[in-house]
Chain A
Amino acid sequence: MLISLDPQDTRPIYVQIVDEVRRALVLGTLGPDDPLPSVRDLAVKLRVNPNTVSQAYRDLERQGMVYVRRGQGTYATPGQTDGVERRTLADGVAQRALHDARRNGLGVNELIDAIRNHDNHRQTEESL
């Protein structure tokens, strides 16, 4: 599992870490019962305050995405590749897209049309 942070992302770091873990869980790069890096290792790797990493891990545990084995570390809860977390991810993507659309003065339907259009083009290109 690779966790990296986008320097352009202005959301709180712990939110970014939670999202990264969620993404890894849904994609499967963090499999069921796989261990997460220790708070210390992740803090050092990302050059992040360890308290922030702890906060992210606590949030993940609260949301049920990970569980803690006393004295051993944090592990991914099985069964994350569909359902709640997937929808949460989709919600995040939609939110960002809508935000961008609004910023450019576009309405929801314009955005949906553009997405469908783009996807059609992509499918056409791929089948060639």
Chain B
Amino acid sequence: MTSPLPTRLRDGDLAVETRGLTKRFGDQVALNDVSLQVPVGAVYLLVGPNGAGKSTTLKVLLDLMRADQGTAEVFGLSTRERAPEVRANVGYVPERPDWGYGWMRVGRLLEHHALYYPTWDASYAEKLVQKFELRLERKMGVLSKGQARRVHLTMALAHRPPVLLLDEPTDGLDPLMRDETFGVLADHLAESQTTVVLSTHHVEEVERLADHIGVLRSGELRAQMSRADLDAGLRRYRVEVPDKWPGVASLNGKVLRRVTAPREVQWTVWGPETEIVQKLSSAGGTVREVVPLSLLDATLALLNPND
């Protein structure tokens, strides 16, 4: 049964694009025919359960991993053939906290990183050090997960790369620092046009920043669309129904979630609102309420349709 959810964006300038990316680890499929499309300037939220393939996708973009099939490009540059040039234009925050030379002090690591990225903005780096309250004299290896995260964020942002790949950027951060991070990101986006691909479990936190979403599950891209399309296309309908209501056959496949009670149902449905209301009504239901979903609820429905 083909999914009604869109998996391809309308054409436009893409900062990051993968075509048919497939990656296997032994007999486990990490990515299966993933075709990601991230428009220039987008803040693209990549969601999915653990092991869905989010980190693997980001690693393929950096040529830290190589796909078995398919291609990946950043600004038209092949991630495999022109990896150094791609990496010069990417700021990466990895999922793992133990990244960067453990024996090096934070300050020295920033200095090291700065030399590799000629566009490093020293005054911006200093501002980030203050905002993230980094202690420059501590060794990387003794930092907590959250402290290391903040160093990685500084390393990724300070050279103002055109693309940011952030894998769980707020992992390990306390709520104050998480909030601070999004403020820093908003400021960063306002200052320089940046394309962001962000993978996080805290979907509610990026509700205000993300304008595109890609849903990965078991290595497959189940849905990919702009927030505008998501907001327009996904609704929760609360419907009063008569006893032994047969449902609406024509909506099968479009209903992502059903909650059923005697004489009342709550359906999360993908599709144009007026059309769906009409179908529900003509099937004998009384539509009591139609609400758009929060990004978190939408994500849950897209990730785990219980239909």
Contacts and interface: CB of A to CB of B under 8 A. Distances in A.
A12 B231 contact: yes
A51 B211 contact: yes
A81 interface: no
Interface string B81-107: 000000000000000000000000000
A103 interface: yes
A44 B190 contact: yes
A102 interface: yes
B208 A5 contact: yes
Contacts of B210: 49
Interface in B45-64: none
Contacts of B208: 5, 13, 46-49, 52
A103 B238 contact: yes
A118 interface: no
B191 A40 contact: yes
Interface in A39-62: 39-40, 43-52
Interface string B275-299: 0000000000000110111100000
A49 B294 contact: no
Contacts of B228: 12
B183 interface: yes
B209 interface: yes
Contact of B186 (A7, A10, A50, A102): A50
Interface residues of A, number: 22
Given A13-B208, A103-B238, A50 B190 contact: yes
Nearest to A38: B190
A102 B190 contact: no
Contacts of A99: 289
A105 interface: yes
B292 A44 contact: no
B209 A48 contact: yes
Contacts, number: 59
Instruction: For chain B, give the interface size range.
Output: 20 to 34
Nearest to A51: B211
A49 B183 contact: no
B191 A44 contact: no
Nearest to A12: B231
Contacts of B172: none
A48 B15 CA distance: 21
Interface string B172-202: 0000000100110111011100000000000
B231 to A, nearest CB: 5
A51 B238 CA distance: 33
B40 to A, nearest CB: 12
Contact of B189 (A10, A49, A105): A49
Contacts of A50: 186, 189-190
B302 interface: no
Given A5-B208, A12-B231, A13-B208, A48 B289 contact: no
A46 B292 CA distance: 21
Nearest to A104: B288
Contacts of A47: 179, 182-183, 185-186, 208-209
B41 interface: yes
Nearest to B287: A102
Given A40-B187, A43-B189, A49-B209, A105 B288 contact: yes
Q: A-B pairs with the 3 shortest C-beta distances?
A: A40-B190, A50-B190, A47-B182
Given A44-B190, A49-B209, A50-B189, 6 more contacts: A44-B186, A45-B183, A48-B186, A49-B186, A50-B190, A102-B289
22 contacts: A7-B204, A10-B291, A10-B292, A11-B292, A12-B227, A40-B190, A43-B186, A43-B189, A44-B186, A44-B187, A46-B186, A47-B179, A47-B182, A47-B209, A48-B208, A49-B186, A49-B210, A50-B189, A50-B190, A51-B41, A51-B189, A99-B289
Interface of B: 41, 43, 179, 182-183, 185-187, 189-191, 204, 207-211, 227-228, 231, 238, 288-289, 291-294
